[in-house]
Structure 1
């Protein structure tokens, strides 16, 4: 069930991740977005194994 929201957030983040790393002031934001996506994906995988 949580796969749909995580997929939507990941797809919505793609344009930002394509642009932000090229700006020195915004590269930290790209790192934060990637770290949050990793946390959400790990959480999704852990909870899907428990069922």
Structure 2
């Protein structure tokens, strides 16, 4: 499960980076979980499933 969550987090982070120039602020406000996952996934596992 942990590995799966890390993979998802990595993919979400990469997607967010690729969208950032066009939708960065929109994504950050609309889907803050994606922007926070990268940093907090290990400290707060619930975020990965929210």
TM-score, with structure 1 as normaliser: 0.50
Given the alignment of the two structures, is residue 17 of structure 1 paired with residue 38 of structure 2, yes or no? no
Cα distance in 1 for partners of 2:6, 2:23 equals: 25
Unaligned stretches of 5+ in structure 2?
46-50
Where do 5+ consecutive residues of structure 1 fail to align? Answer: 22-26
Greater Rg over alpha carbons, structure: 1
* Count of aligned positions: 39
Distance 1:3 1:11, change over 3 A: same
Instruction: Report the Cα distance in structure 2 between the residues aligned to 1:33 and 1:14, rounded to whole angstroms.
Output: 15
Q: CA RMSD in A?
A: 2.3
Scaled by the length of structure 2, the TM-score of the pair is: 0.50
